[in-house]
Amino acid sequence: MSMTDFGGVVAAVPTPFDDQGRIDTAAFIEHASWCLSNGCDALNVLGTTGEANSLSFEQRSAVMAAAADSLDTRRLMVGTGTPDLETTIALTALAHHLGYAAALVLPPYYYKPATDDGLFAWFERLIRSTAKSPIAIYLYNFPQMTGITFSPAFVARLAEAFPDRIKGAKDSSGDLDYARQLAVIPNFSVFPSNEATLADAGAHNYAGTISATVNIAPVLSAKLWQDQADAPLQDRVLQLRQAISANPLIPSVKYLVAKRSGNPVWLNAAPPQPLLAEAHRSSLDLLAARLHQPE
């Protein structure tokens, strides 16, 4: 897989921590490898699900290096966006050095309102500062977290100005009309964050999905990606996503990874992620049991 054909089913993988908050790279590699062997075309490392914005530069760099040492980097996208430009430049250049297929970049989310001209200047400096590390860049639209929406006009302007670098976007807004507007931009790959939209990928020119809940049963999403007309499968994929998302998302994904792997390190999350209440754990236990029942 190259940066020109990055797509399909992409799990936004979580990051495991021990009781002291140290990253367990062995557990990380085990789960990432399992995802790639069970339906995922690629992985998004250190995104929202990976709790990247709770990690230091050194921690993020260590995870990036560990993944690059053990996994096929042609199948890896990594989150490199931070509020400050210099750290974003450094992480993006490191991603290229390590061989990642793509960098996923949040907007600089502290100072608001952010104008299109201000965002353009920020991304232009990122692109020019990494000219010798020309990794593909995907925009990360997540206004619920950042307070910023990349306007379709801004995205089209940036993609036209830097077609060799700006390759697409992950859209976590949940606004499918917005995703469809981005998907008409020439040579621009759009990834909604809901795997049930794989059923509409052909109709709306989506490049796939990048999703947290794909971590739990990636083979189902892989089947839907291959057979987008399978309405019962789409319903099953959607119901699974909704069942997981009815609980605190990141701790729930990690809880279900712990159930699958048998490794309790996944039960930990970095503050300020909440601890799962007993009711959440009980509902997830029932969900895990159903997943292991024969079809």
Query: Where along the chain do its domains lie?
Result: 8-291
Q: What is the pLDDT of residues 159-215, one digit of tens each?
A: 999 999 999 999 999 999 999 999 999 999 999 999 999 999 999 999 999 999 999
Domain 8-291, CATH:
3.20.20.70
Q: For the chain, what's the residue count?
A: 295
Nearest of 80, 64, 5 to residue 29 by alpha carbon? 64
Output the six-digit token pair for 286: 């029932």
Quick: pLDDT tens for 252-293: 999 999 999 999 999 999 999 999 999 999 999 999 998 876
- Which letter does DSSP use for residue 275 in this model? P
Listed in sequence order, the residues at least 6 apart from 249 whose beta carbon sits closer than 8 Å to its beta carbon are 49, 212, 213
Q: Per-residue pLDDT for 4 more than 60?
A: no
Are 124 and 160 in contact, with CB atoms under 8 Å apart?
no
The percent of residues above 70 in pLDDT, for the chain, comes to 98
Whether 98 and 122 have beta carbons less than 8 Å apart is answered as: no
Copy the structure tokens of residue 168: 């697409």
Query: Which secondary-structure segment (H or E) carries 196?
Result: none
Helix (H, G, I), strand (E, B) or coil at 130: coil
What's the pTM? Answer: 0.96
Q: How far is CA 277 from the centre of its chain?
A: 26
pLDDT tens digits for 229-263?
Answer: 999 999 999 999 999 999 999 999 999 999 999 99
The model's pLDDT over 98-139, given as tens digits with 9 standing for 90+, comes to: 999 999 999 999 999 999 999 999 999 999 999 999 999 999
- Pairwise CA distance, residues 138 & 78, whole Å: 10
81 contacts: CB under 8 Å, gap ≥ 6? 88, 104, 105, 106, 107, 108, 140
